[in-house]
Structure 1
Amino acid sequence: MAAVKLEQYLASIIDAARSDTNEVKIKPGNSNFDLFIAFLENRNTGIHRYQTTGLTILYEAKGSTKVRINSQNFMLNDGNIIFLQKKSNYEIFKPGSKDILVKLEFDPNIDVRNFFDNLTVMNNYEKKLLKKINTTFEQKRLLGLNGTLMSESAHLLKKIIDEYLNYDLFTRNAIMAELTLLFVSAVRNQNLTSTPAISHQFAQTDLEKYIDAHFTNITLNDAAKHFGFNPNYFSSLVKQKTGKSFVEHVDERRMLEARSLLARPDISVKEIITRVGYSGKSFFYKKFSEYYHETPVQMRAELFRQANINLK
């Protein structure tokens, strides 16, 4: 099957699926093939929850799919690949009508180290590097390949799926060799990581929506976890992308809420402090004065005057 037509063929399998199961099996070219079983994520409703029985590869062949792995959210985009350890828990949110997520579930006896068997000649540095990769995979329970549909890793995975579908002489050997090449390519290009940064797209609008929903009780750690990043990296990313720190974004949202509440005569300043997420009066007054250059009492008096509210 021509590689350029692979996505169309996979889409046709999903479209033809009659069952409401969460995944659709892709039949191999030879029923005796035993290296892995290939599935496509179905487009039915709900969150699909899984636990891997063996090494598992998630590959976004088209579109983007939101997944949660080890309580971290990721967005798999075109060409992204994630390797999951045996007995890993993961969730997949409903893919879009054009999205194609492929899953390769390997025999439980297969390990990432098997992909290195073809690398018979290695220097000491290469041996240490592969050992480090394997140790990281065992500890973190996932490895991501940062790439696109045009990257070599995506091209190799397409060849693997194509081999699975057609089944020719030495197919199993060819697939193992291509998996080895996939890892070698990833290491050479330095796009193999235990925290696939490219698997989640960060946008300021997403941050604003999250803060808007959680500003009364929000922490940097919780926000970083929600977006699938290390807290320190997330803090730097927010500053880099928006020009303001995470705390500044939260304070800004709280100040806007405080101003809105100050216009209501039925809510005391003490209650407003609690509602916007601050624990003390002095800290709230300090932040408020820095932001608006006046005290809450002064602003409330002006807001009442503008609205012709007289409490005397």
Structure 2
Amino acid sequence: MAAVKLAQYLASILSSTNSDTNELRLKAVGSNFDLFTVYLENHNTGVHRYQTTNAMIFYEAGGKSNIKIHGQDFELGVGNIVFLPAKSDYEVQKQTKNDVLVKLDLNSKYNLQYFLGNITNKESREEQAIEQVISKLRVNRLLYLKSTPISKSAQLMNRIIDEYLNQNLFAESVVKAELNLLLVAAVRNQNFAAAPAEKQGFANATLESYIDANFADITLDAAAKYFGFNPNYFSSLVKQKTGKSFVEHVDERRMQEARNLLARPDISVKEIIARVGYNGKSFFYKKFNEYYHQTPVQMRAELFRQANINLK
């Protein structure tokens, strides 16, 4: 069934229903399909509040839907896809007659990790990409695929729903394969969008805590993986949200620690350089001078003077 025809068919189900339930179950032709159950969000009045029992996939087949997930507001446009783990809280705001939100409620034995884990013959970089996506799901408690109506991901979702409805031969095997293709395409392109920036799970205070605990041996890649982001995206996000680059945050924390250590007469400058995470004396001196406009030796002399420390 073509995407437009599928959306029209689903919209016709919503417009013809007399049910006042918040969601309408779409019955499949066969009875042996065991992957998921499909629901349509009904157009009845009021805010629809839920907590998922199993992992779920949302797909906007028509119009747009305003959804609050874990307290974050999303506006799903046509083609957008959201992956949710089990025990997720969400609300769907009032919809118009043009909105078609499809929800796939996965069987309890299936989740995103299951399908990603079943991808075979993975290279090390592919393993890393999958781990990064799983980490992002763990941190954000959702994955938001902001695909377009003509994207590969949207086409696959249309085919998945169509297979569910028609239950042709080998429907479950076909759907499993198409779900894998959907996730592979998303992981390959790293095109999972961020939640709204002002309500992102990542926050400046969280970043500072992470840097505070890891500044001596920190890397951008490790930090990005911890927060569940692609390194390039994470770097841009830090700059956007804080006004400073990731490197500037790290250097600032290292300089603070260096100043604290310079006040201790029992630690040499050489040891301080190693403790705060720099590899060479000249680079450390350059950074220190840029930050404090004096050398570490000058800073140490001033700190000793203020503390009445005389080593002569």
Work out whether the TM-score is over 0.5.
yes
Q: Which residue of 2 aligns with 1:5?
A: 5
Deviation at 1:118, TM superposition (A): 4.4
- Work out whether 1:34 is the aligned partner of 2:37: no
| Superposition map of 1:64-143 within 5 A | 64-143=64-143
Q: Is the 8 A contact 2:139 2:201 kept in 1?
A: no
- 1:150 is matched by which residue type in structure 2? I
Q: Is the 8 A contact 2:55 2:84 kept in 1?
A: yes
Deviation at 1:196, TM superposition (A): 4.1
- 2:122 is matched by which residue type in structure 1? M
Q: Which residue of 1 aligns with 2:262?
A: none
The TM-score normalised by the length of structure 1 is: 0.63
Q: Is the 8 A contact 1:20 1:44 kept in 2?
A: yes
SS in 2 for 1:97: coil
Q: Is the 8 A contact 1:80 1:148 kept in 2?
A: yes
Aligned identity (percent) is 46
Q: Is the 8 A contact 2:133 2:187 kept in 1?
A: no
Alpha-carbon distance in 2 for matches of 1:126, 1:139: 20
Q: Which residue of 2 aligns with 1:216?
A: none
- Pair 132,5 (structure 1): closer, same or farther in 2 beyond 3 Å: same
SS in 2 for 1:157: helix
Deviation at 1:116, TM superposition (A): 2.6
Deviation at 1:26, TM superposition (A): 0.9
Alpha-carbon distance in 1 for matches of 2:36, 2:186: 21
Alpha-carbon distance in 1 for matches of 2:113, 2:186: 15
- Pair 236,122 (structure 1): closer, same or farther in 2 beyond 3 Å: closer
Deviation at 1:53, TM superposition (A): 0.9
Q: Which residue of 2 aligns with 1:154?
A: 154
| Runs of 5+ consecutive residues of structure 2 not aligned to the other structure | 205-236, 244-312
Alpha-carbon distance in 1 for matches of 2:112, 2:202: 25
- 1:145 is matched by which residue type in structure 2? L
Q: Is the 8 A contact 1:156 1:182 kept in 2?
A: yes
User: Which digits, 9 at most, give the CA deviation of each residue in 1:243-293, with x for residues without a partner?
Assistant: xxxxxxxxxxxxxxxxxxxxxxxxxxxxxxxxxxxxxxxxxxxxxxxxxxx
Alpha-carbon distance in 2 for matches of 1:39, 1:234: 38
Q: Is the 8 A contact 1:48 1:92 kept in 2?
A: yes
The count of aligned residue pairs is: 210
- 1:175 is matched by which residue type in structure 2? V
- Work out whether 1:177 is the aligned partner of 2:159: no
Q: Is the 8 A contact 1:118 1:177 kept in 2?
A: no
Alpha-carbon distance in 2 for matches of 1:135, 1:117: 14
Q: Is the 8 A contact 2:11 2:100 kept in 1?
A: yes
- 2:7 is matched by which residue type in structure 1? E
- 1:45 is matched by which residue type in structure 2? T
List 4+ stretches of structure 1 deviating above 6 A.
228-232
Deviation at 1:33, TM superposition (A): 1.6
| Runs of 5+ consecutive residues of structure 1 not aligned to the other structure | 198-220, 240-312
SS in 2 for 1:49: strand
Alpha-carbon distance in 2 for matches of 1:230, 1:138: 12
Q: Is the 8 A contact 1:58 1:81 kept in 2?
A: yes
SS in 2 for 1:149: coil
Alpha-carbon distance in 2 for matches of 1:181, 1:43: 31
- 1:140 is matched by which residue type in structure 2? N
- Work out whether 1:166 is the aligned partner of 2:161: no
Alpha-carbon distance in 2 for matches of 1:76, 1:235: 26
Alpha-carbon distance in 2 for matches of 1:29, 1:13: 16
Alpha-carbon distance in 1 for matches of 2:76, 2:203: 20
Q: Is the 8 A contact 1:24 1:39 kept in 2?
A: yes
- Pair 124,106 (structure 1): closer, same or farther in 2 beyond 3 Å: same
Q: Which residue of 2 aligns with 1:60?
A: 60
- 2:141 is matched by which residue type in structure 1? R
- Pair 145,63 (structure 1): closer, same or farther in 2 beyond 3 Å: same
Q: Is the 8 A contact 1:115 1:177 kept in 2?
A: no
RMSD: 2.3
User: Which digits, 9 at most, give the CA deviation of each residue in 1:173-218, with x for residues without a partner?
Assistant: 111110111111112222124x245xxxxxxxxxxxxxxxxxxxxx
- 1:134 is matched by which residue type in structure 2? I
The TM-score normalised by the length of structure 2 is: 0.63
Deviation at 1:160, TM superposition (A): 0.2
